[in-house]
Chain A
Amino acid sequence: MAPILSVRDLEKTYDGGFQALKSVSLDIRQGEVFALLGPNGAGKTTLISTICGLVRPTSGSIHVCGHDALIEYRAARQMIGLVPQEMPTAPFELVGDTVAFSRGLFGMKPDPARIEGILKDLTLWEKRSNPIMALSGGMKRRLLVAKALAHEPKILFLDEPTAGVDVELRHDMWRIVGELKQKGVTIILTTHYIEEAEEMADRVGVINKGEIILVEDKAELMRKLGRKLLSLSLTEPLSEIPGSLASYDLKLEDEGRSLVYTYDTRAERTGITSLLTDLSQAGVRFHDLQTDQSSLEDIFVGLVSQG
């Protein structure tokens, strides 16, 4: 299936000379939730803004459902809804009016029933006649989602949807994303909360210093780069690792009371069986063991610090 969004060799150098995007290529599949991860200043917002027409690309191309985003900008933008990172709102406008305004901007005839549906889905219906400034921060964020959905986009961009929000609202946002995915909306979200990508994404892209350094299925990524730790709680503390075990990637922790073995889940042989045999031959006894899989966060930090 052709990608719903295709970015090719996209470059952006701002007037000041800062190169925010360096030859970015990216394909987004229809119906997926794609998480774009990256530290602050990596180029996440520039990438989204360029796709949405807020920033002019220096070179490269963007196609949305086959429409060139620069030439056939009307058809391309029609497909896209954008929830920006900051929460810009006109303070005095009414909630219901502003959602209807967003729909009209996209050239669509008023449809009060649909606006009602969107507001109800986002639990804003009760507030429809209130001015925006009377909303709480969480409601404002939901309102921005409502505005972005008012023209029934096929692709929804969520730029840092949960930056600086409380836990409840974050879960609320995750629920909304889940429901939209059910309805077939393709979602691209940026975040620097790894937890968020882990929770919601089908695929993960990592951007750093304006370059996409990795795009991978989330599960695949976790499996591929995921390193596992085996911790053994020792019966007798060790002062050093016995010489017969030198070939293993071992570390002593917790003042010698715990032995940590790092292994790669990619490897055909993890070496666990032979390690345990060698341990008992060396007379090292343990009373408990546990394994830990590295989280997306560890993977991410590993990738970004390499770059």
Chain B
Amino acid sequence: MNFEAIKVIYLTEMARTRRTIMQSIISPVISTVLYFVVFGAAIGSRISEVDGVSYGAFIVPGLIMLSLMTQSLSNAAFGIYFPRFTGTIFEVLSAPVSFLEITIAYVGAAATKSIVVGLIILITASFFVPLQIQHPVWMAAFFLLTAVTFALLGFIIGIWADNFEKLQFVPLLIVTPLAFLGGSFYSISMLPEIWQKITLINPVVYLISGFRWSFYGQADVSLWLSLLATMIFLGGSLAVVHWIFKTGYRLKA
């Protein structure tokens, strides 16, 4: 393993975060706090408890999940797309660096950033609502798995995209709606029966449900189903990344 290469790519990516701290850290935190204020404080006061948890506290796991997914995705997508766009990727591709090392470095950096954002949101939320984390190990596991999985997905998008529009397409038009409709702000038991069934097609439901269970011990679907769904996501992303590197798709002529 070329650890030195992983280190420099990772650190360079993290340095980019520091340079763009407004965009990378502060803006997702602010937008999440806005959700929190609007849905939690303003509207939430009119909504009764959900499964014995105050609405404000109920949405915290969903909000963290939402930003974890979108941040991992866009950070990783941009992280690999930008050097492709400027051409500096040639240096990485002509260095004695394996594709596995490239993936670890870029995906690791993107996941780190979104984890930092997620933690900041968690800490911020703890000032507004009484939080409890019943299963901290599970919570950490879902946190980590989701960050890595969506960073991998973002990495794939960043390689697939050949213009800025495509780069934005998947995060904005697919993942954000799925996350909103996946129970970030509600329990799917609040939906009419038919929609309860339809919503189970949405893979994000399982991620949010599992994550919320680790907080309050309550879930829309079973824990193992949530874990399975996360693993399928992760496995699928790994398979696609493996295929990309095997064929040199969009990276090597």
Residues on A lying within 8 angstroms of B by beta carbon are 14-15, 49, 52-56, 73-78, 80, 82, 84, 86, 88-93, 97, 100-102, 104-109, 147
Contacts and interface: CB of A to CB of B under 8 A. Distances in A.
Contacts of A105: 4-5, 8-9, 91-92, 95, 97
Interface residues of A: mostly helix, strand, loop or mixed? loop
Nearest to A89: B88
A107 B90 contact: no
B46 interface: no
27 contacts: A14-B253, A15-B253, A53-B93, A54-B90, A55-B252, A56-B252, A75-B96, A78-B96, A82-B90, A82-B91, A84-B87, A84-B90, A88-B87, A88-B90, A91-B86, A92-B19, A97-B15, A100-B8, A102-B91, A104-B5, A104-B8, A105-B5, A105-B9, A105-B92, A106-B4, A106-B95, A147-B91
A59 to B, nearest CB: 15
B124 interface: no
Interface string B73-114: 000000000110011101111111110000000000000000
B95 A56 contact: no
A15 B97 CA distance: 25
Nearest to A14: B253
A156 to B, nearest CB: 12
Contacts of B253: 14-15, 49, 54-56
B2 interface: yes
A91 B20 CA distance: 13
Contacts of B82: 90
A104 to B, nearest CB: 3
B252 A89 contact: no
B136 interface: no
B134 interface: no
B5 A107 contact: yes
Contacts of A88: 86-88, 90
B86 A77 contact: no
Interface centre among B82, B86, B88, B92 (most CB of A within 10 A): B88
Nearest to A102: B91
Given A80-B94, A89-B88, A90-B88, 14 more contacts: A55-B252, A56-B252, A73-B96, A82-B94, A84-B87, A89-B86, A90-B86, A97-B12, A97-B15, A100-B8, A105-B9, A105-B95, A107-B4, A107-B96
Contacts of A82: 90-91, 94
A190 to B, nearest CB: 15
A84 B86 CA distance: 13
B96 to A, nearest CB: 4
Contacts of A73: 96
B248 interface: yes
A53 B5 CA distance: 17
Given A90-B88, A92-B19, A93-B12, A74 B2 contact: yes
Contacts of A109: 4
Contacts, number: 79
Interface centre among B88, B95, B98 (most CB of A within 10 A): B95
A49 B94 CA distance: 9
B8 A54 contact: no
B91 A104 contact: no
B19 A101 contact: no
Interface string B8-20: 1100100110010
B7 interface: yes
Contacts of B83: 90
Interface centre among A86, A92, A101 (most CB of B within 10 A): A101
Nearest to B248: A56
Contacts of B7: 104
Contacts of A14: 253
Contacts of A91: 86
Contacts of A108: 4
Contacts of B87: 84, 86, 88
A212 B72 CA distance: 48
A52 B94 contact: yes
Contacts of B3: 107
A44 to B, nearest CB: 15
A74 B86 contact: no
Contacts of B2: 74, 107
Contacts of A89: 86, 88
A78 B94 CA distance: 9
Nearest to B95: A105
A61 to B, nearest CB: 17
A138 B237 CA distance: 42
Interface string B215-244: 000000000000000000000000000000
Interface centre among A77, A101, A107, A108 (most CB of B within 10 A): A107
Contacts of B8: 100-101, 104-105
Nearest to B8: A104
Contacts of A101: 8, 12
A53 B4 contact: no
Nearest to B1: A107
Nearest to A15: B253
A172 B4 CA distance: 33
Nearest to B98: A74
